[in-house]
């Protein structure tokens, strides 16, 4: 849902609706993710529709009631859902304060729930091979194979890969480069590993396309039903079917980013190399990321066992 399709959040003053549009536009520009904008839009509209108040009349009690409210499922919201609702509203109110429309944020009075992060999953090299073997040799299967290989070899996020267009690729001697827009709107340019590039060329040929003559704004991922290219949602549905067919645990597209990091470590790359590869802000972030993926090695148990005669 583009920003221009959102409904009004206040019937009292157009300034609040203008601020709403501006907030979502800024969110899309900074995150580079339409999915994030859609999520924030839905949450904000649900909140203001429920309480029928303009932002300057919202209280901490209103936010608390909404954050902990029971949804259509009839179940109490999880800590993750409560936290997401508060974060969304707080982000909007902070924006209004920056714009000089408010002086206080009602969300600051609330305590965020503690959440336990889920254990990230990463696929092994054998898992990736098993997954690739179940993909059909059809144009759609070859396209999905190219997407999987691009995700695995580049560790880019789903939106960054699904948004790639012909104009994002360029040749530098024998090397193929790709330009991407990362998290927070940051842009980068990296080498596109040859297996991913070859898979893309093969897939495009199956669709009757040639990179050399494609328009720069054409998607690298053709779709029979969408002239703008394959959507993330459709690829996710395809991926789930492939995982089931391969006998692998169901997972989201982000599993390939985890897998890419783990595979780089498995072949001997340093944490510094993996950190740069993932575009992490610091080595500390990468260390935590890898520790959660790989588990914490216990290097001392053998000495303890020997000391107690085991």
- Which of 46, 81, 109 corresponds to the end of one domain? 109
Q: Provide the CATH number for the domain around residue 76.
A: 1.10.150
pLDDT band at 2 (very low <50, low <70, confident <90, very high): very low
Average pLDDT over residues 38-59: 92
Q: Provide the CATH number for the domain around residue 272.
A: 1.10.443.10
What's the pLDDT tens digit per position in 52-72? Answer: 899 999 999 999 999 999 877
155 and 105 inside one domain: no
Instruction: Specify the number of domains making up the chain.
Output: 2
pLDDT, residue 299, reads: 44
52 and 197 inside one domain: no
pLDDT, residue 8, reads: 57
290 falls within a domain: yes
What's the pLDDT tens digit per position in 220-232? Answer: 999 999 999 999 9
50 and 172 inside one domain: no
pLDDT, residue 29, reads: 79
232 and 282 inside one domain: yes
pLDDT band at 282 (very low <50, low <70, confident <90, very high): low
36 falls within a domain: yes
114 falls within a domain: no
- Which of 109, 133, 156 corresponds to the end of one domain? 109
89 falls within a domain: yes
137 and 66 inside one domain: no
80 and 40 inside one domain: yes
Cα distance between residue 246 and residue 280, in whole Å: 32
CA angle 276, 161, 194 (to 5 degrees): 70
Classify residue 165 by its DSSP letter.
B
Distances (CA, A) of 248 to 72, 165, 280: 31, 30, 28
155 and 256 inside one domain: yes
Segment holding 188, helix H or strand E: strand 187-191
pLDDT, residue 254, reads: 87
301 falls within a domain: no
Q: Both tokens of residue 282?
A: 């610091």
85 contact partners, CB below 8 Å, separation of at least 6: 43, 47, 66, 67, 77
pLDDT, residue 288, reads: 59
pLDDT, residue 235, reads: 96
Average pLDDT over residues 201-211: 97
104 and 144 inside one domain: no
- Which of 76, 109, 142 corresponds to the end of one domain? 109
152 and 274 inside one domain: yes
307 falls within a domain: no
- Other Cβ atoms within 10 Å of 137 Cβ, number: 8
118 falls within a domain: no
How many residues appear in the chain? 310
148 falls within a domain: yes
pLDDT, residue 223, reads: 96
Given a contact cutoff of 8 angstroms between Cβ atoms, the answer to whether 243 and 249 are in contact is yes
**pLDDT at residue 27 above 60?**
yes
136 and 83 inside one domain: no
Classify residue 254 by its DSSP letter.
T
pLDDT band at 47 (very low <50, low <70, confident <90, very high): very high
220 and 138 inside one domain: yes
Range of the domain at 15: 3-109
262 and 161 inside one domain: yes
């Amino acid at each position: 849902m583009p920003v221009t399709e959102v409904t009004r959040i206040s019937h009292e003053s157009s300034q609040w609706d203008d601020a709403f549009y501006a907030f979502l536009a800024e969110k899309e520009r900074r995150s580079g993710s339409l999915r994030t904008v859609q999520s924030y839009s839905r949450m904000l509209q649900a909140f203001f529709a429920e309480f029928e108040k303009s932002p300057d009349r919202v209280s901490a009690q209103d936010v608390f009631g909404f954050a902990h409210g029971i949804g259509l499922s009839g179940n109490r919201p999880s800590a993750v859902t409560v936290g997401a609702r508060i974060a969304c509203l707080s982000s909007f109110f902070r924006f209004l304060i920056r714009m000089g429309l408010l002086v206080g944020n009602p969300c600051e009075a609330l305590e965020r729930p503690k959440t336990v992060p889920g254990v990230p999953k990463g696929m092994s090299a054998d898992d990736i091979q098993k997954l690739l073997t179940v993909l059909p040799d059809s144009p759609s299967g070859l396209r999905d194979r190219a997407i999987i290989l691009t995700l695995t070899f580049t560790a880019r996020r789903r939106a960054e890969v699904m948004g790639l267009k012909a104009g994002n690729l360029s040749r530098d001697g024998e090397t193929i480069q790709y330009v991407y827009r990362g998290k927070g709107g940051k842009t980068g340019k990296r080498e596109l590993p040859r297996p991913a590039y070859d898979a893309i060329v093969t897939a495009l040929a199956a669709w009757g396309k040639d990179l050399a003559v494609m328009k720069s704004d054409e998607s690298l991922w053709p779709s029979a039903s969408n002239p703008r290219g394959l959507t993330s949602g459709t690829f996710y549905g395809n991926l789930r079917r492939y995982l089931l067919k391969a006998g692998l645990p169901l997972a989201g597209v982000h599993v390939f980013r985890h897998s890419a990091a783990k595979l780089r470590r498995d072949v001997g790359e340093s944490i510094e190399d993996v950190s740069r590869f993932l575009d992490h802000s610091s080595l500390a972030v990468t260390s935590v990321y890898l520790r959660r993926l790989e588990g914490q090695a216990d290097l001392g148990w053998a000495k303890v066992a020997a000391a107690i005669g085991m």
